[in-house]
Amino acid sequence: MNYILLISLVFIFIISIIFSIYLKFPQIKALFNIKRLFKHSDHHAFLTTLGTNIGTGNLVGITSGVALGGAGVIFWMWIFAFFGCCLSFAENAYAVKYQSVIGGERRGGASYYILKGLNSKIISVIFAVSLLITNTILFPPVQINAITVCTANIFNLNKYLVGIILFVVLGMIVFSGTKVIVKAQDTIVPIMSIAFMIVSSFLIIVNYKEIPLAITKIINSALSIKSIGIGMILNTMLTGFKRSLFSNEAGLGTTPSVTGISTRNSLDNGYLQVLVVYVDTLIMCTITGLIVVISGLNTDILSSSYAIINLFETYFSKAGSLIGYLFIIVFALSSVIGQFYLGESNIMFLGIVTKLSPSLLKISYRIIYSVGIIIGIMVSFKSSLELLDVGMVILGILNIMVIITLEKREKYLHKLIKGDIM
């Protein structure tokens, strides 16, 4: 499985480099359009995507990554994210082009641009089902596991009792409808992001003398063949690629389901999703990574879903446990809620193309989603990460092949970047 994962991730990375060159680096152009982008009143897609992405990938994803591959993992996360956000630009631009209106609400995503762009009902259904499975059974268990384990440990409760309570709470939240989810994300995301950056920036400022040494350690761990060997570098690179993709999901075809609600044009949505990757991985993950490297925590502690609580406890004593726990809960819940929305969009799509009963599909989806929650409660943190890796490979390869085929036929992204269309 490791070899398949390695080949798949290297393939995604190479394609992201090719697309970056082909589109003349939209990830750089996005930075020059920030002021214009945020003058628009519609930020729902940006905030919902950010809320979905800013989850345990920014916390336990980093700690476990450093435990498995060393400090150099952070460097390879930077590299993969920089090039990978070009794929995010591409998929979200196509999502807007092929968005639809269903039941008075805008919808879109990879399944929609496969159906309309490639005129392939079969492939669109295959992708919709794949996305449905990943966003119910393969992706959420990581977040659920983190919430359950951390809550049980911090309050000295039975893990399964916590799981039952979480099951009920999530049911009340996610089954309230799309508009409620979007409203919740709009409120939670800015608050949690600002709070995390304030606390984390404070720690970095307090430990500013350690920053140069931490950065040196990150680079040496990523590139020094003499000291750690080619095998370790490959392991570090692979782990960095996995954790980067876990954090931002660029190119997986997940975020286009959120972009499908946007009223903005393709170019702006593409640029905004580039900024999501920057905020999520190049800023949030870097801050967490620096704190982890400076802390000097051993790998046994870092490899658990409880690691982020131990990390903040190192700096703030007992109060740190509560701070770390608060971030875990808010970040993970935000991701789980966003993942439910992504799956729901594809349920509606399946209802349209298969002519199956919408009510039956919704009930089936909620049952499958509930199974994902139960899996997250039952399995180990390591197993939940392995499920996640499988989901990323399936979606990434399918979606990227579709993007390549669409662009080969239409040259839509090329025209968009040139300014020939909006």
The tokens of 160 are what? 């399964």
Q: Which of 8-17, 23-32, 262-271, 303-312 has the lowest mean pLDDT?
A: 303-312
**Closest to 10 in 3D by CA, of 81, 80, 101, 114:** 80
List the domains of the chain with CATH numbers: 47-418 (1.20.1740.10)
**Rounded to an integer, what distance in angstroms lies between the CA atom of residue 282 and that of residue 269?**
19
- Mind listing the pLDDT tens digit for each residue in 311-345? 888 888 888 888 888 888 888 887 787 778 777 77
Q: Which of 337-341, 380-384, 400-404 has the lowest mean pLDDT?
A: 337-341
pTM: 0.88
**Cα 265 versus chain centre, distance:** 23
Q: Per-residue DSSP letters for 181-250?
A: HHHHHHHHHHHHHHHHHHHHHHHHHHTGGGHHHHHHHHHHHHH-HHHHHHHHHHHHHHHHHHHHHHHH-T
- Non-local (6+) Cβ contacts of 100 within 8 A are 106, 107, 108, 112, 260
- Mind listing the pLDDT tens digit for each residue in 179-197? 566 566 666 767 777 888 8
